[in-house]
């Protein structure tokens, strides 16, 4: 996948093309249907498939006071898009000045002039782009007729409700990581570097990897979860690349903690030296809420139960 930041600098090999645009936060199942349509249309026309996205998220620039925490920020976001199989990704630097383009200027400069688009793939809910938030699907159709590109509109996707980034965030805020995975099409992932904590887990016989406070990705509600611990610095074929884990999110109330942390215990492993490694934690299922225990013995009993419960969830999964 080629990556660039200015549609006017599109490589000759990728224009003309079939294209789509959006924030794609989380690259959830609805996004993947749009991108799947993009890939199918591109293949049918013998053209490359290109996605246009923005960094930072437009709401972070225009309304920072209500900007959402991103499900898949930065490099994680781009990795998820690359995995879809697109040929090119335009990551446009989003600024207040950039936002002053009219909706028509945005479509023409980005897709007609920049990408030489032959077909533009959009979701049925595409709206609110350009100055005044007035751009919508009807305008795109009109511009397609005037400037010679096709417009393919993908209907809203979902089971009981439309799959959306907002819905996935809400599930994560509730600790419903299984519900979030239903929307995302995969377990939710948080990425960070392993740092030193208070070493209480090791003293108790359950050494945990503590993720740095500024980890990438929405941290679910406080609780204990079953999930996967992936050591991103190891090659995928290494036997310790991906390990089953019990994951704790919270402030460690038994020890009167005040700082919210994410820490993972790799099941049945006490031999791992993980400090300084970049790791990914994938949340599969909520096991129990965070609790305050009256004694270390009660805490140890609960942790032993967490290991059993995590095994029950993960042992039959690949």
Catalytic residue annotation: 263
Q: Residue holding tokens 């209480």? A: 200
CA distances from 163 to 13, 128, 234 (A): 34, 18, 33
Joined tokens for residue 102? 């009219």
CA–CA gap between residue 137 and residue 143 (Å, rounded): 10
CA–CA gap between residue 318 and residue 200 (Å, rounded): 30
Joined tokens for residue 101? 């383009």
Distance in Å from the first CA to the final CA of the chain: 28
Q: Residue holding tokens 């290494």? A: 238
Cα dihedral 256→258→260→263 (10° resolution):
-40
Q: Which residue, among 199, 237, 217, has the nearest Cα to 279 in the 3D structure?
A: 217
For residues 39 and 140, the answer to whether their CB atoms sit within 8 Å is: no
Cis peptide before 125 (omega within 30 of 0): no
């Amino acid at each position: 996948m080629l990556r660039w930041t200015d549609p006017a600098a599109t490589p000759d090999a990728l224009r003309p093309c079939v294209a789509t645009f959006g924030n794609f936060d989380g690259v959830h199942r609805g996004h993947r249907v749009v991108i799947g349509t993009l890939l199918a249309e591109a293949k049918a026309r013998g053209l490359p498939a290109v996605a246009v996205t923005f960094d930072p998220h437009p709401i972070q620039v225009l309304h920072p006071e209500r900007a959402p925490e991103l499900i898949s920020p930065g490099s994680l976001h781009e990795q998820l898009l690359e995995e879809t199989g697109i040929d090119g990704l335009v990551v446009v630097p989003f600024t207040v000045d950039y936002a002053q383009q009219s909706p028509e200027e945005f479509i023409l400069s980005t897709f007609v002039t920049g990408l030489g688009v032959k077909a533009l793939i959009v979701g049925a809910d595409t709206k609110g782009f350009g100055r005044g938030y007035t751009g919508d699907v009807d305008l795109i159709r009109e511009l397609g007729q005037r400037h010679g590109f096709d417009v393919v509109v993908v209907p809203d996707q979902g089971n009981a409700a439309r799959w959306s980034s907002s819905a996935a965030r809400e599930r994560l805020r509730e600790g419903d990581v299984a519900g979030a995975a239903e929307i995302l099409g995969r377990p939710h992932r948080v990425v960070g570097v392993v740092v030193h904590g208070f070493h209480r887990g090791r003293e108790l016989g359950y050494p945990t990897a503590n993720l740095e406070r500024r980890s990438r990705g929405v941290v679910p509600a406080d609780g204990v979860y079953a999930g996967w611990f992936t050591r991103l610095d190891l090659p995928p074929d290494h036997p310790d690349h991906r390990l089953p884990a019990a994951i704790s999110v919270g402030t460690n109330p038994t020890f009167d903690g005040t700082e919210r942390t994410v820490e993972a215990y790799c099941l049945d492993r006490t031999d791992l030296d993980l400090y300084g490694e970049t790791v990914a934690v994938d949340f599969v299922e909520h096991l129990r809420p965070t609790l305050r225990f009256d004694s270390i013995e009660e805490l140890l009993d609960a942790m032993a139960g967490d290991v059993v419960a995590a095994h029950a969830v993960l042992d039959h999964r690949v």
